[in-house]
Chain A
Amino acid sequence: MELENTSQDSYCTLDHDGCVVCSDAGISLRVISIDGDNALCEDAVGNRTEIAVELVKPVATGEVLLTHGGVAIAKVQKAEMLKAPDRSRADKLPTEGRHP
């Protein structure tokens, strides 16, 4: 688990419910175990909860899911570290996707 250097105040976690009702925020949780359509998941500070995973199946332990209102709505892909812009290689930025 890569849960070191976390601060509850800085992260969206299960017991910081400020974003539960909001329009567009979700909580990233790591899958601990799977039981049918539900998975036991853990947030950045170790809180655990059951999450419905029908909408993102198949799910494997260790995967990170974006959850909202107790339901997983997306899988979080391994993020590349953002690089500082290199003006001589401007076409390398931004690192993420464009219209395919």
Chain B
Amino acid sequence: MKYVDEFRNAEIARAISAEIAANTDPQRHYKLMEVCGGHTHTIYRHGIKDLLPDQIELVHGPGCPVCVLPMGRVDDGIAVAERPEVIFTCFGDMMRVPGSKGNLLEVKAEGADIRMVYSPLDALRIARENPDREVVFYAIGFETTAPSTALTLQRAKKEGIENFSVFCNHVTIVPPVRALLDSPDLRLDAFIGPGHVSTVIGCRPYEFMPEDYGKPCVVAGFEPLDLLQAILMLMRQLDEDRCEVENQYSRIVPWEGNLAALKSMAEVFELRPYFEWRGMGFIAQSALKLSDAYADFDAELRYAVPGVRVADPKACQCGEVLKGVLKPWECKVFGTACTPEHPLGTLMVSSEGACAAYYNFGRKSFEKVEIGTSP
């Protein structure tokens, strides 16, 4: 398919790699954070790191919604799923995310009616087909996914479907990035901005990075050449002492975002005062809940949930990995007690999680060798 093959050309990749090297100061160490889990996946799937000078360190960010979901929210979802009148629907990866007493797959095996869906619109269809049951959609995701939930709720309201509700866990990308920039743990030089979130919110929300923190940001696509090109753009900014937001992914990302999607989200959602992020604690105005106009569809109001904050397992260091303080292989249980087959932490569950990316693409052995020699 066009739009893909041209972004995987090895010759061009090598040429951009050489250009990146030419823009790298050999006396300096650069820390670039890829905010998005999709970028982490691409970096390790395609061996992007092999094409970069040793001076450039890629730090993995918090941009995987499964990974940042605190355990208590999983328990809340399970409490709803266990109700006999409920058909509980969610995306596939969500079913394997561990709560404090198990995951949704295990609850399903014990008899709960839990169904994997590809789209919230599929959950709405299930509600139409089962008017005598209550259908709950467990919504999760950044601004990429939130429009599909918003659109589904608008259709549900328009059609007057009353046996449908949403357990909303949508989060927003800017507040956690700001929290990272405020964190004393981490010194970052620049950011690779999330591509598909930006199709919805545009590039303007990232302007606080150069304006308030003096950090460049380049919004990037997800093919190998997209990422290499974005890194080159960042290295040029750093080399030229420029600091601004640039858009590498302009074939899909409009500078102003998708106004229709933003309007739909503004009607259906409102910001929560605060929301807990795994490993990062409570972050103000970092998540969405249903607006008053859609309160009738809010599963948190329709059903009693425990709402208890649950600490991560002691051995799990997802929080430090999410903040970029630790590399996945530096976690005590990486690849031993915690594997994709038996994940202890969320970062090993999702294919976009940094730990799963390392594990699945065999980077751990390379990185273990490299860590002793890295600056």
Contact = CB atoms under 8 A, between A and B. Distances in A.
B40 to A, nearest CB: 10
A66 B252 contact: yes
> Dominant SS at the A interface?
loop
B246 interface: yes
A69 B118 CA distance: 6
A6 B1 contact: yes
A67 to B, nearest CB: 9
A17 to B, nearest CB: 5
B194 interface: yes
Interface in A81-99: 81-85, 87, 90, 93-99
Interface stretch (B48-56, B253-261, B271-279, B314-322): B253-261
Max count, chain A CB within 10 A of own CB: residue among B9, B200, B261: B261
A75 B250 CA distance: 11
Interface residues of A, number: 53
B9 A82 contact: yes
Contacts of A96: 229, 247-251
B18 A52 contact: no
A64 B251 CA distance: 11
A84 B351 CA distance: 31
Given A19-B351, A22-B351, A96-B250, 5 more contacts: A23-B141, A24-B63, A76-B3, A78-B251, A96-B229
Give 9 closest A-B pairs by Cβ, nearest first. Answer: A70-B119, A97-B250, A21-B91, A69-B148, A71-B148, A74-B199, A84-B15, A22-B352, A44-B1
10 contacts: A20-B118, A24-B36, A66-B196, A71-B148, A73-B199, A74-B200, A76-B251, A85-B16, A85-B18, A85-B232
